[in-house]
Structure 1
Amino acid sequence: MQSLAPANNTSRLGEAGAKTTATAVGAVGECTTTWNLRLQPVGYPLVTASTSMAEIMCDNATGANGSRPARVGCVVPWYPAQVLYSQSRYPSLASHVSRAQGSGLPGATITNPLNRNVDTATNNLNRSRACGDAPSLTGKSCDEYPLASTFQGLAFGGSRRTFSGCNISAPTNVTGPSGASACMITASENNAQGGLMAAFYYDYRVLHSDPFRIGISS
């Protein structure tokens, strides 16, 4: 406890931290730090106030990523971290995602993020409903947005749509937040997307149902 007396217009600083006990493999823990304030200026009654900082989630549940080992770490779980797709490195992937988001599909903003899904069965259903009948084109493969590894895929409702030039048999010029877009893109870029997402999920500790965003960079 720190007193503001005796000088007027005095400020005080404080710090708070968290040390997790969620260290066992697979463990996930959450905590909230609360500040309890007691203010009693001379000649006035005691006033109390309480305020809590943003919740922290710590875990040892993200697993390993290639040669990078499983490790304990902490994040602010309600803030959706962002993975960036580079237009210069992955032009066809970035183009499809940008158009899909522009048509109203979620994932671009903090208030309308995607949510990761680690359930294999529904992820596979997301993928098959979006790309199960994709044509065989040399050097290309089918990309679905929202990603198959999210709760926003077609396993959870909505219908498939596409864009002109995507070589997918589905309605075009469709807008709105539900459903998924499919498009044939450069296969090497589609394959690289898997590595990008695996590294992102690892680095930012994105667990099952956690929110995240996808952005487009230069």
Structure 2
Amino acid sequence: MNNISRVGEAGARTTATADGAVGGCETTWNLRLQPVGYPVALESFEMAEIMCDNVTGANLQRPKRVGRVVPWYPAQVLYSQSRYPSLASHVSRAQASGLPGATFDNPLNRNVETAAINLNRSRACGDAPSIAGKSCDEYPLATTFQGLAFGGSRRTFSGCNINAPTNVTGPSGASACMITDSENSAQGAAMAAFYYDYRVLHTDPWVCCTDR
């Protein structure tokens, strides 16, 4: 009837509840409209793909639980320049040099394979110097498919105390820099919480930005 609106809701109930389970679904609304005096009108709307899982483990006081996300949309983690100045500076410079992860159309992808993570870290920071109050930060992070285990070469910036070429640009490789140790440790905790809260699983995309 004319001038009358209808409101509908849709939800999803997952069966992917066992430990390690991952499931997905796509929802389609098929509408059949027949105004008085007019022919039938048919319309179909596809909703966003949904992924449900029980893969994410517990994180500190946060329990293991089932959750769901839109898997193809990269989640975003933000590094505060006021709280973590040396970390944010390294990340922003690395991204400005052409390394990926700053935009939704050029994200990073999480990697949970221990051997690759260790190789990413060792190739970026394995020969880092011992400097009181500092530790080696690599970007892209070791927990991604964009690290040095997957190709490219190491680069750095002036003042980073890393023996590697400076003024290198391009999307391949990784940057290493000695940053404040407390900030590096805080980044590790922040990433663990981020992966948990946004259910970023193996191969899932995500982006990393610094506030301006």
TM-score (norm 1): 0.92
Write the distance in 2 (CA, Å) between the matches of 1:22 and 1:46: 39
- CA positional deviation for 1:176: 1.3
Per the alignment, residue 179 of structure 1 pairs with 173
SS of aligned partner of 2:64 = coil
Q: Which one of the candidate residues 202, 207, 213 is aligned to 2:196?
A: 202
Per the alignment, residue 167 of structure 1 pairs with 161
Per the alignment, residue 131 of structure 1 pairs with 125
Q: Which one of the candidate residues 81, 100, 107 is aligned to 1:106?
A: 100
Two-structure CA RMSD over aligned residues (Å): 1.5
TM-score (norm 2): 0.94
Write the distance in 1 (CA, Å) between the matches of 2:10 and 2:43: 17
SS of aligned partner of 1:97 = helix
Per the alignment, residue 66 of structure 2 pairs with 72
Q: Please give the per-residue CA displacement for 1:131-168, whole angstroms capped at 9, x wherever unaligned.
A: 11111111111100000000010111111111111111
Per the alignment, residue 83 of structure 1 pairs with 77
- 1:54-69, aligned counterparts within 5 Å? 54-69=48-63
Write the distance in 1 (CA, Å) between the matches of 2:209 and 2:105: 14
Write the distance in 1 (CA, Å) between the matches of 2:108 and 2:149: 14
SS of aligned partner of 1:198 = helix
Write the distance in 1 (CA, Å) between the matches of 2:196 and 2:33: 44
- CA positional deviation for 1:46: 3.8
Q: Which one of the candidate residues 150, 160, 164 is aligned to 1:156?
A: 150
Percent of pairs identical after alignment? 81
Per the alignment, residue 50 of structure 1 pairs with 44
Which 4+ stretches in 1 moved above 3 angstroms? Answer: 39-47
SS of aligned partner of 2:130 = coil
Unmatched 5+ residue regions in structure 1? none
Write the distance in 1 (CA, Å) between the matches of 2:43 and 2:162: 59
Per the alignment, residue 140 of structure 2 pairs with 146
